[in-house]
Structure 1
Amino acid sequence: MNFSEAITSGFQNYANFNGRAQRSAFWYWVLFTFIGGLITVGIDAAIFGADGWAPLNSLFSLATLIPSLAVGARRLHDIDRSGWWQLLHFIVLIGTIVLIVWFASRGTPGANRFGPNPLGE
């Protein structure tokens, strides 16, 4: 899956928490939200100044919140874990490290309880 396919997939599956997502779909989505955040912060700073008010970034973050949670859940499904494991983000450092390792892990080969392998293996 390439960058544009991952973004399209992220928005087409806006609130789809079922199924599995391959690593490239997840990481390209993360890259998209990171770059989009940087761009909207830059535009906010240019228009509204650096006083901390960032309405464009807030709108972008709000628009990508649910798809980000959905693609994260589908990525966890690919390694045969529940999407609820994303709550580990609330454990400040350790939880985020664990999730990064899981998100970077290879998916389970073949079908698992969440569906067929998105890579077709």
Structure 2
Amino acid sequence: MPHTVRRTGDIHPCPGTSPGVARAKEGRRNDPTATLTRTRSIRTYLEELMTTTATTDVPLSQPLYGASFGQSIRRFFTKYATFTGRASRSEFWWWFLVNAIVGIVIYGITYGIGISGAVVNDQGVLVLGPAYWIGLVLAIAWGLGTIVPWLALCWRRLHDTNRPGPFYFLGLIPFVGGIILLILLALPTDPAGARFDA
């Protein structure tokens, strides 16, 4: 129920709003040309967003800022073992998401089919079924197939933050290394990182 103020006899939708402002807001809501203008401005904005340099052809030697999901995956495999140049945050995080999803799916397959033929031996230990090895082979194949481009992508992402690629090895510090590396990979772009371009 709207709040009413009865000083002058007018009913206000809320305190502090004059009747003229309330009528103007109501008129804009019901005006079909205002709705059309808002729709056009949203459409224009989306068209401009879709045709920015992020979605056009950027040389592989340059980072693709605002890369889409598909562009990030394509660039990941195209620049398979390229450790020079830079990679934008969107290139990195889209691939990070894909890699996490694929890892979860492979893990689910591995243990899902492994449990199906599992038995408990005489010592009470669960022995996974023979189908477990199919999932394990998938996991090993995925890991071996993506380790080199993953390292290259991390290397290039560090270059984009104006840090040399060997900072990746900070991730090997026990307990805190992974956190340090994750923070470095999440940092914004530093234009001085252009020094790493090939």
Bin the TM-score by the shorter chain: 0.7 to 0.9
Residue 11 (1) aligns with residue 77 (2): yes
Q: How does 1:76-115 map to 2 (within 5 A)?
A: 76-109=158-191, 112-115=194-197
Name stretches of at least 5 consecutive residues in structure 2 with no aligned partner: 1-66, 119-127
Cα distance change on mapping 1:99 and 1:64 into 2, 3 Å = same
Contact 2:86–2:193, Cα closer than 8 Å, also in 1: no
Q: CA RMSD in A?
A: 1.9
Taking structure 1 as the reference length, the TM-score comes to 0.86
Contact 1:19–1:77, Cα closer than 8 Å, also in 2: yes
Taking structure 2 as the reference length, the TM-score comes to 0.54
> Moved runs in structure 1, 4+ residues, more than 3 A?
46-53
Greater length-normalized contact order (CA 8 Å, ≥ 6 residues apart): 1
Deviations 1:42-84 (A, max 9, x none): 2222334473741111111111101100000000000111111
Contact 1:19–1:115, Cα closer than 8 Å, also in 2: yes
Secondary structure in 2 matching 1:4: helix
| Number of equivalenced pairs | 116
In the alignment, what sits opposite 2:155? Answer: 73
Of structures 1 and 2, the larger Rg is shown by: 2
Identity %: 38
Q: How does 1:29-40 map to 2 (within 5 A)?
A: 29-40=95-106
